[in-house]
Amino acid sequence: MDNFRSIDDIPSPYRNIFTEYPCFNAVQSQVLDDILYTDNSVVVSAPTGSGKTAIFELAVVRLLIQYENLDVSKIKIIYICPIKALCHEKLIDWHKKFSPFGLNSVAATGDSDNMDFQHLANYNLIISTPEKWDSLTRRWRDNEKVVQVVKLFMIDEVHLLNEEDRGSTLEVIVCRMKTVENCLSYCANENNVFNQKIRFIAVSATVPNVEDIAEWIGKTPHIKFYRFSEEMRPVKLKKIIYGYNYNPKTSPFKFDISLNYKLPSLMMQYSEGKPTLIFCSTRKSVEMTANHLVHSLKIHLNEEQRQKLLDVANMITDSKAKITVKHGVGYHHAGMIHETRHAIENLFRNGDLPVLVTTSTLAMGVNLPAHLVIVKSTKCYDNGGFRDYTETAIHQMIGRAGRPQFDTSATALILTSNEDKPKFEKMVGCGQPIESNLHRHLTEHLNAEIVLRTITGLDVAMQWLSSTFLYVRAKKNPYHYGIRGGFTQNQIDKKLLEICQIDLNKLVKTGMITMDQNIVITPTVTGKIMAKYYVDFETMKLFTQISGTEILIQILALISKCREFAPMRLRVNDKKTLNLLNKNSSKDTIRFPLNGRIKTWDMKVNCIIQAVLGNLDILDHSILTESLTIMRNGERIAKCLIEYLETRRPNCYSALLNTIILGKCFHARLWENSPYVSKQLSGIGSVMSNQLANAGKTTFKKIMESNPRDIELV
């Protein structure tokens, strides 16, 4: 305990923030002086479960101390986290801890679509996802008063950079904050004792190239980085990889099912009667695994546990989840309604639920540690095919093993094929460097920076590129980015500029930007609309192909094909529900039935949109959950298309009119000719609006003119 710093090292009014700790652990103790007594930017790479939240809290305390006798409402702190659920968890926790010191907290995530900079003006601690902060800061020049008071920018899970789809967004928002810092530094008030520097604090799971992240985030000597090995983990983790025979002729689905039969004996051997978390790659696998364990594993429950499980099971509406919970096995995936997921999370967190089976996405989100973690199968289904879990995903999952307050040791088991076993042994052992993914999504991000006027020419484009993580890594691992080895720095710069020019030419070709003979780059109205509504380049390209004569059914089909919906893959389990919504002789179906059976993701999206607008019952929880995301995105995309078509008048009146009608339908969640108008009123859902429609109350006029007694009877 000699090297562990005491909570008493913190100035007295702020000690209450850390009362949950007996003292700071080894990781927190080592970084404490740099975080609390300097203004250096700091990057920390440490094992999952080593108390990185306290590092952020110490950085906030540093700022509070500096502003002790000043107006704390004049500062902004930004916390970026990849998972919405974690953002909301942090909001509750930090509101409790920091509101006594005058910090107002708010969460800005994809769920808060209407939030803008004006709304954020009243808050000091903004908790956001990378995508939401990207969307908000694409208009920062119109809101300089908000961004110029950002003093602290905290990035959780910075190894997200390694993710193919989302890593680039995290990269560009950090680059944008560096641009903000540079642009506004000259505006610093001469009387202001604090300069315009933004302090960056970034933490990550164990990564081998933390110095690259530090080099990218800030300039020496004002940036410090720490690399902590697995030895610093408060709970020692034993990692074991099991390889099993896998016949390449059979599908990965069958191999996944065969692993269910291995689970009971492994759990008996390693769980020590303590909580077990099992990660599966698909929702179907999650439910099948949970059912298998209910029938094949004898779980000892005491009377108090049994009663708690029974109480929660009786509250759960999901009939399948109800059965497994009673037996001590819970399952959890994004297709379940929020209340059910939340109830099961609480049971597991409180130690009343011995086994929880979940999808790999949980590993990135809610903090649910277990004594034993099992990764069942290392292949996941993605965009119509199977691929191996990324190293980040594996480390996130096994990082959930070990509960600091209950365990001194923990175990993580990875079940894979004999063929893949050496690969995962290496992955778990040494770790691959984090790479940039900006080059995969450069088109959208270049357009956003051109609209912001950060990039106005090729020379400025190169300056911006040199502020990216891509630039740092291209020097060290050129092969990864399609650049030959042995190049000089100038040659690498030239190659990166070529990559940039290819994407700029794509934007010119589709009319998003213009480039004159002096290579001055200017955004077009179309490019500005694309950046404003945060839509994919492929989506915008689709819009440019509209003839202008499209009718409602065609506009709906076009929006359903937008790239934003591509992650909504069509699962085998979805088909029955969707086909019944599409065609069914015995009850109401969608307004524009689709030809044949539902067999692509865009047909699925189209069918779900029509089911919601038609007030049809969606009985599948998974599809119901997806419908919320689809409708939210659909409304944004429709607004984008309306604005774009307005620029193409007078030849697009039919398409424009029908898009405006569809946009209103998205907003009201009803068709424009729907008899269920009452559903738009607060407190009226599908059932009540159905009953009112059946009673002939199909317009607001008829409802207003009704005798209150008649409404009461309905």
386 is a domain residue: yes
Average pLDDT, integer, range 352-360: 92
With bands split at pLDDT 50, 70 and 90, how would you rate the model's confidence at 193?
very low
- Is the domain of 290 the same as that of 362? yes
Contact call for residues 574 and 529 (beta carbons, < 8 A): no
282 within domain boundaries: yes
Q: Where are the alpha helices (DSSP H) in 186-245?
A: 210-217
Encode pLDDT of 79-90 as tens digits. 999 888 788 889
Q: Are 225 and 76 in the same domain? A: yes
pLDDT at 47 over 90: no
Output the pLDDT for position 76: 94
**Helix/strand/coil (H/E/C) assignment for every residue in 81-125:** CCCHHHHHHHHHHHHHHHHHHCCCEEEECCCCCCCCHHHHCCCCE
Tell me what percent of the residues of the chain surpass a pLDDT of 70.
96
Query: Which of these, 394, 346, 337, 388, lies nearest to 367 by C-alpha position?
Result: 346
Same domain, 455 and 411: no
pLDDT at 194: 46
Query: Each residue of 217-236: pLDDT tens digit?
Result: 987 678 999 999 877 787 88
Residue 292 lies in a domain: yes
Distance separating alpha carbons of residues 435 and 258, to the nearest angstrom: 34
At 418, the pLDDT band (50, 70, 90 cuts) reads very high
Question: Does 170 score more than 50 pLDDT?
Answer: yes
In this predicted structure, what is the pLDDT of residue 48? 77
Tell me the CATH number at 583.
1.10.3380.10
Residues 392 and 301 in one domain: yes
Rounded-to-integer distance, Cα 633 and Cα 627, Å: 10
Asked if 84 and 191 sit in the same domain, the reply is yes
Same domain, 387 and 250: yes
State pLDDT tens for residues 205-217. Answer: 878 899 999 999 9
- Based on the fold, state whether residues 338 and 357 are members of the same structural domain: yes
Q: Is residue 2 part of a domain?
A: no
Task: Report the C-alpha gap between 418 and 255 in whole angstroms.
Answer: 12
pLDDT of residue 112: 63
- Let me know whether 288 and 392 are in one domain: yes
Same-domain check for residues 339 and 457: no
Residue 185 pLDDT: 66
Asked whether residue 548 is domain-assigned, the answer is yes
| Residue 482, number of CB atoms within 10 A of its CB | 11
Q: Which amino acid is at 365?
A: G
Higher-pLDDT residue of 576, 220:
576
- Compute φ and ψ for 646, nearest 5 degrees: -65, -30
Domain shared by 485 and 563, yes or no: no
| Least confident stretch, 284-288, 362-366, 425-429 | 362-366
* pLDDT score recorded for residue 1: 47
- Higher-confidence position of 110 and 317: 317
Summarize the confidence of residues 358-376 as an average pLDDT: 81
Asked whether the predicted pLDDT for residue 249 surpasses 70, the reply is yes
Residues in Cβ contact with 668 at an 8 Å cutoff, skipping those fewer than 6 apart? 680
How do residues 539-562 score in pLDDT, each as one tens digit?
999 999 999 999 999 999 999 999
Q: Give the pLDDT mean for 691-706.
A: 88
Q: Domains in the chain: how many in total? A: 4
Q: Which of 232, 257, 279 is the last residue of a domain?
A: 232
Q: How confident is the model at residue 121 (pLDDT cuts 50, 70, 90)?
A: confident
Q: What average pLDDT does the segment 474-503 reach?
A: 91
Please give the pLDDT value at position 264.
94
Q: What percent of the chain has pLDDT over 90?
A: 60
Average pLDDT, the chain: 90
Q: Is residue 241 part of a domain?
A: yes
pLDDT of 110 reads: 75
Give the domain range for residue 279. Answer: 236-429
Confidence of residue 195 (pLDDT cuts 50, 70, 90): low
Shared-domain flag, residues 195 and 262: no
> Among residues 186, 202, 232, which one ends one of the domains?
232
Q: Select from 499, 496, 475 the least CA-distant residue to 487.
A: 475
Of 397, 429, 461, the residue that ends a domain is 429
Q: Is residue 687 part of a domain?
A: no
* Other Cβ atoms within 10 Å of 384 Cβ, number: 8
CATH number at residue 510: 1.10.10.10
**So what's the pLDDT on residue 573?**
83
Residue 682 located in a structural domain: no
Closest CA to 59 of 41, 81, 83, 84: 41
Question: For position 710, what pLDDT does the model report?
Answer: 83
- Provide the pLDDT for residue 196: 65
Q: Which helix (H) or strand (E) holds 231?
A: none
As to burial, measured by CB atoms within 10 angstroms (0-12 exposed, 13-18 middle, 19+ buried), residue 559 is buried
Q: What is the mean pLDDT of residues 342-361?
A: 90
Q: Are residues 219 and 244 in the same domain?
A: no
- Look up the CATH number of the domain holding residue 329: 3.40.50.300
Say which residues have a Cβ less than 8 Å from residue 576's Cβ, sequence separation at least 6: none
In this prediction, residue 278 has a pLDDT band, given cuts at 50, 70 and 90, of very high
CA distances 234 to 44, 107, 287, 405, 409, Å, are 16, 30, 33, 10, 9
